[in-house]
Structure 1
Amino acid sequence: MKGSSGGGSGAGGPLNWSQAPSRLRGESPQEPLDRFRFRRLVREAGRRLEEAGVSSPEHDARLLAEHVVGTPLVMCEGADGGQVAHYLSLIEQRAARVPLQHLTGVMWFRGLELECRPGVFIVRPETEVVAGAAIEAARHMSADGVAAPLVVDLCTGSGAIALAVAAEVPRSRVVAVEVADDAVDLARDNCERHAPGRVRLVQADAAAPTTLAELDGQVDVVVSNPPYVPDGALEDAETADHDPHRALFGGGGDGLALPTALVRRAVALLRPAGVLVMEHDAGQGAALRAAALGAGFTEAVTGQDLAGRDRYLRAVTERASRA
């Protein structure tokens, strides 16, 4: 990328990123940038991220700028020297493929602003569709006369799905299960912020027969986004380097060891005509439908995400026989 003569007004073409900090900020590291020069820096930061292979460079550069100054970029009147230094540091970390959510400490899920921390799985947009299927099932049960649907979220991670259910099905009773210490701590904090007293958080092995055994046969909906990545299938370095492997790999060469164990646990937890919704890899649909039918579910179908990829299992237990 070629450099240009950067004037104090911010006019001219793009700068060489290695020169951008001093050229844009002036000689004094404490000199602020007015809104025009700061926006120019944000544009150049987007180019820096594009060169680094970030998939949404302009979006990330803008969001990090708004995170630093605390206001939408269109309303920003400029940045002081400390804010500029902080911004440049964040851009270099993002260029090194530190996740955006780790830099801002925030991840969004179905309209909820959740805290995000290193060491805990970053919830993905496609999981919103999975949560939506569970929410729809719980709402249908409410419409059919279930006063307070009991929903269990297995492998809750940050608590995202459990909190979405609590927010969108106000009369639901929600139980969230997670085994990892860091995830439990984060889920607890997210629950206390968004739904105090609404979500019961249990630290346990989600697949163990003793976990929530007191609820066997009583649960209306089980939902889960479990580890399901097959061994050797993860190609995204950003995910591999920053998401905990325990939250990614499902076990076995096909990644189905834990998901199939959770299918068996779910069929025990669910009442007659209860519903399981479980996220999975695009190539695991047939295997999990077979696992569900083999475990005792009477219906098993595969749902798609917004991109049309096979994304989740929806299975239903046998309806109660009429006397």
Structure 2
Amino acid sequence: MGNNLTLLICSNREGIRFSEIWRQVVQDKHLNKIVLVTQGKANFYNNHQSKVVHIKLANTGRSNAVNRGLQEVDTELVGLTDDDCYLSKDWIFQAVKVLTNQSLSMVYGQTFAYQPEKNKGKICPCTFTKKPNRYSITSQIGRHWQDVGFDNNAVIKKRVFEEIGGYKWWLGPGSIGKNAEDAEFILRALIAKHSIAYNPSMIVYHNKWLTQQEWKNAAQIYLCGGVGAYGFYGMQGIEECWTVVKSYSFDTFRNIIDEIKKFFDKPSFSLDLIKDTFANLYYLCWGLIIAFLFAIIIPIPEKEHVVRVIARE
């Protein structure tokens, strides 16, 4: 495949040492260039790496940043990671090795927490190890956090974006849908009959650590985006996605009931309990509203309307 991979990174945070993200892969013979798309305070970053194309945006939303970055890609493969991740030395090699298989469209890898020994008592989100932890191929819709992974560790053939479109602007950080832009894209690709590989040797380290309260807040955001992404396809008739939405809903109400039971076991006024209960209900409902709005009310762009395309076949 030659030097046929473009690494795409998006950020809206200041003070990020971007060079640490790609330090171990920047000299890889398969790497053509790095596209860095920044927003907000990250626009002040001064790039000194010749392989980096730095694009500064005035708008918000990670999906908007990814889609703008894709316009700069002229290679066969697009690598995705986050601004708080570090790529292992053979990350590109492992991805290219898998995607020489013409029947595969995407490959996701194994994501570890970075230096957990220095972050006792905290939680690193969006890590991923598939069970069983061996090379596998997915072509059926399931739960992306169990079957596929996250796009802090993904390489996708550019033709997939050309066939089914980019990320949805209404999902992801900085959007009305809050999160799960990668989940929606995975679902769209699977519905369009693309096959996705998992390579456990394709390793990324995630350097994001949350306190218990921060994790609780993040989980509510993940709930909103997940319901929005899976609900979007569930409302278009994809039963597997609707099953996941029902699971989200069941888990939310079960957690609320568990918290209420704890309250009655040891009665005491808890403002946090009230806040958490309303927050969970709010994000669940908001995710459903987002799904309904974009699946039923607002027309879906033709290229991205994979459910209708498959129905015609």
Question: TM-score category by the smaller chain?
Answer: under 0.3
**Higher RCO (CA < 8 A, seq sep 6+):** 2
* Structure of greater Rg: 1
Normalized against structure 2, the TM-score is what?
0.27
